[in-house]
Amino acid sequence: MSSVMNEKKAFRKTHLTWTLIFTLSIVFVVAVVAGAVFMVEKNRITRQFDGDLVRTAEFIEKRLSAPGMMGMLRMMKGMPPLFVPRGEAFQLLLSSGEVFLEVGEQLDTPEMPVKEGFSTEGNYRVFTKKIDLGDTTIFLRVGKDISDLMERSRRLLSMYLLLIVFTAGGAWIFGYFISKLALLPVKNAYDSLKRFSMDASHELKTPLSVLKTSLDVLKYQDVPEEVKNKLSIMEKNVEKMRKQVEQLLLLVKSGEMFKDTVKERINLKVFLEELVEAFAPKAEAKNLKLKIECPDDLFVETEKDVLRVVLENLIDNAIKFTEKGEVIVGAVSDGRVTIYVKDTGPGIPKKEQKKIFERFYRISRNTEGSGLGLSIVKELVARLKAKIVLESEEGKGSTFKIIF
């Protein structure tokens, strides 16, 4: 997980992500299949509707071909439209486009030249057919109200959309439980690893404390210079291991350690003075100046204990990697509060700056530390809803900024 501190949030996010992916996959498959069925059924309904128009036109064509039918139609010319079932219409046109006879509902007169085939005119689906009757050519137009066809299509579309909605709901519920079961072994393995790390770190702390105490006692004994040098090397490495164990404990316990912390309004000048006072002996041991740059009336509302751990790590690193010069701990406000730790150390190469916050990453094998400090800092800064920025140039030092 990207953040041990936010492990529950991370598992919940993964759980919901898997559920969403499962739901979208099922909905996509159902939508494609149901969409294909919808289109096939819609086309079937339309073809059936058009087929009825064609059959009606063919029936009328046969009647018009009967002897004496054209004479009877000429007699009917000019009469009001005849009655047929509501929603149906028949229109006979001469080749000139003149309406020869209308039966039922009134259709619009088509534009010239009259084209055969299907067309949609207002609320009517119209089929036009050319008929040759000896020396006369006429166009038969058969129309039918499409309101019923549109209603059937709307019902079909509503059923399709309801199917998608119910599928999405069902897939989400099913996916939620399935993804929870799938994540369970991962979560159990993660918890086991976390418990192991905590237990191992606790078990290491006791022997390391004993070793450090023993080395402190031996340093003041009357032993040869060569032995004293070896004791000094041993003490240095024991201290290094002790810090690594503490960082490992902080890494695995940070979520529990800060779960009850609340935001409070902090006077940054007073807060930074306390931190600098704690690190003053370490800076003096290396002949470094440890200074504060902060106005007296600058406040920030945040989780004090979390911010303390962040700055302790940054100040400790600054002193550790700075051989001469100074370390400045400060804060400014230009609309947003920025706390910074600036040193005159060797600086960090450009190509390494993007990786510096990765867990266990060190610039080189000879670099002191475990590679955990800055990764812990980044996670804790994220908890504070702030942003950490690194500004560094080789040979000129580094500045770590926490921007609220």
As a whole number, mean pLDDT of residues 284-298 equals 91
Of the pLDDT bands very low, low, confident and very high (cuts 50, 70, 90), residue 14 is confident
Is the whole-model pTM more than 0.75? Answer: no
The pLDDT, as a whole number, for residue 121 is: 83
Of the pLDDT bands very low, low, confident and very high (cuts 50, 70, 90), residue 342 is very high
Strand bridging mode 117-121 / 299-303: unpaired
Summarised one tens digit per residue, pLDDT across range 180-223 is 888 888 777 766 666 655 656 555 666 767 777 777 777 777 77
Cα gap 159→86, rounded to integer Å? 29
Question: Domains (ranges, CATH) in the chain?
Answer: 260-403 (3.30.565.10)
Bridge partners for 144 per DSSP: 88, 125
Summarised one tens digit per residue, pLDDT across range 246-261 is 666 665 555 555 565 6
- 95 Cβ contact list (under 8 Å, min separation 6): 114, 137, 138, 139
Q: What tokens does 390 get?
A: 């690194």
The pLDDT, as a whole number, for residue 4 is: 45
Q: What is the mean pLDDT of the chain?
A: 80
The half-sphere exposure of 20 on its side-chain side, counting CA atoms within 13 A, is: 6
As a whole number, mean pLDDT of residues 271-285 equals 91
Cα gap 180→190, rounded to integer Å? 15
Q: Is the pLDDT of residue 382 over 70?
A: yes
